[in-house]
């Protein structure tokens, strides 16, 4: 198990200049960096990889930025834009050494409205078709897609682990698996540990965040139960802190972070990784 930090806590977009953060990440005790990549063209992957190596860090995962205009269940233009974006990100991942593309790959974050069952099924069929194509492309690069359930305020499509399992089964590819996030799970799951157990060997990526999107460990989450469940399924993937503050304005708006949840970005990172390593290792 390796412990990482999602770059959205400190910057957006991530560019070549953002590698200046790597020395801090290493000093704070992180093993890896999860790059939230808004556009593949924002970085020179060879330069980023060089900086990772310099600081003895890895980039095991890329976090997909599914912003406006990227939606596999949207207009034809949005479907095309989403596929182009995700394939572009997949193309740079081998250079970075990243083997997991994680996030809500199915739709724009923030699209949430009730739809009739027949409309939902139409959207479902579109998403399955696109993910089958994307998973095939990812497989050709030896990369795994990890689809993430989001809470009800950020999507109306996949909210729970059980729904994600249904989607993975429908796509039917060994290159599509599951990404769980304790923040979203706190809102949507009846029992976080049971959801992890249900995911089993389909779980390839995990975000550890406080129940208020702050520091893991400084919240009401039953982390001991999460730890036991991860150990029971023999999870050995990355555990990544994906917390936000009002400092990064574009992310603060997208995630509805209107106040200072913690003293600083640094305190989330430093205290969070120490807690996760102590509790989950």
Predicted local distance difference test score (pLDDT) of residue 252: 76
89 within 8 A of 146, measured Cβ to Cβ? no
Look at residue 82 and tell me whether its pLDDT is greater than 90. yes
Summarize pLDDT for 31-72 with one digit per residue, the tens. 999 999 999 999 999 999 999 999 999 999 999 999 999 999
For residue 147, give the nearest of 126, 125, 128, 119 by alpha carbon: 128
What is the 3 state secondary structure string of the chain?
Answer: CEEEEEHHHCCCCCCHHHHHHHHHHHHHCCCEEEEEECCHHHCCHHHHHHHHHHCCCECCEEEECCCCCCCCCCCHHHHHHHHHHHHHHHHHHHHHCCCEEEECCCCCCCECCCCCHHHHHHHHHHHHHHHHHHHHHHHHCCCEEEECCCCCCCECCCCCHHHHHHHHHHHCCCCEEEEEEHHHHHHHCCCHHHHHHHHHHHEEEEECCCCCCCCCCCCCCCHHHHHHHHHHCCCCCEEEECCCCCCCHHHHHHCCCCCCCCCCHHHHHHHHHHHHHHHHC
Summarize pLDDT for 90-102 with one digit per residue, the tens. 999 999 999 999 9
Q: Are strands 176-181 and 100-103 parallel, antiparallel or unpaired?
A: unpaired
State phi, psi for 32 to the nearest 5 degrees. -145, 165
**% the chain with pLDDT above 90:** 92
Would you state the structure tokens that stand for residue 234, as one six-digit string? 């023999």
pLDDT tier at 148 (50, 70, 90 boundaries)? very high
Summarize pLDDT for 240-255 with one digit per residue, the tens. 999 888 888 887 777 8
The count of structural domains within the chain is 1
Look at residue 197 and tell me whether its pLDDT is greater than 80. yes
pLDDT tier at 144 (50, 70, 90 boundaries)? very high
CA distance 226 to 1: 14
Predicted local distance difference test score (pLDDT) of residue 255: 80
Tell me the CA distances in angstroms from 259 to 112, 213, 262, one per residue in order: 23, 11, 9
Q: Which residue range(s) make up the domain with 138?
A: 2-280
CA distance 165 to 144: 15
Longest dimension (CA), the chain: 53
96 within 8 A of 52, measured Cβ to Cβ? yes
The model carries a pTM of: 0.96
Predicted local distance difference test score (pLDDT) of residue 259: 86
161 within 8 A of 189, measured Cβ to Cβ? yes
Domain holding 61: CATH number?
Answer: 3.20.20.150
Look at residue 180 and tell me whether its pLDDT is greater than 90. yes
Look at residue 73 and tell me whether its pLDDT is greater than 90. yes
**% the chain with pLDDT above 70:** 100
Predicted local distance difference test score (pLDDT) of residue 219: 94
Mean of the pLDDT values across residues 177-204? 98
Mean of the pLDDT values across residues 130-143? 98
Predicted local distance difference test score (pLDDT) of residue 122: 98
């Amino acid at each position: 198990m390796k412990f990482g930090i999602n770059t959205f806590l400190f910057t957006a977009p991530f560019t070549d200049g953002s590698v200046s953060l790597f020395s801090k990440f290493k000093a704070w005790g992180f093993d890896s960096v999860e790059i939230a990549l808004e556009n593949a063209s924002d970085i020179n992957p060879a330069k980023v990889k060089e900086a990772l190596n310099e600081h003895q860090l890895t980039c095991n995962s890329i976090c997909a930025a599914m912003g406006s205009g990227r939606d596999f269940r949207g207009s034809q233009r949005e479907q095309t834009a989403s596929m182009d974006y995700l394939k572009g990100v997949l193309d740079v991942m081998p250079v970075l050494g990243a083997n997991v593309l994680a996030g809500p790959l199915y739709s724009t974050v923030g699209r949430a409205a009730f739809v009739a069952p027949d409309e939902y099924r139409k959207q479902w069929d579109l998403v399955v078709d696109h993910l089958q194509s994307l998973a095939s492309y990812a497989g050709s690069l030896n990369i795994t897609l990890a689809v993430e359930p989001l809470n009800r305020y950020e999507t109306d499509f996949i909210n729970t682990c059980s729904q994600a399992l249904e989607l993975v089964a429908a796509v039917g590819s060994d290159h599509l698996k599951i990404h769980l996030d304790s923040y979203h799970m706190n809102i949507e799951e009846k029992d976080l540990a049971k959801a992890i157990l249900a995911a089993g060997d389909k779980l390839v990526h995990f975000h550890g965040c406080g129940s208020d999107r702050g520091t893991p460990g400084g919240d009401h989450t039953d982390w001991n139960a999460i730890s036991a469940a991860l150990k029971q399924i023999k999870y050995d993937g990355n555990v990544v802190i994906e917390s936000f503050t009002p400092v990064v304005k574009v992310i603060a708006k997208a995630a509805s972070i209107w106040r200072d949840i913690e003293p600083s970005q640094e305190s989330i990172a430093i205290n969070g990784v120490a807690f996760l390593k102590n509790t989950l290792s």
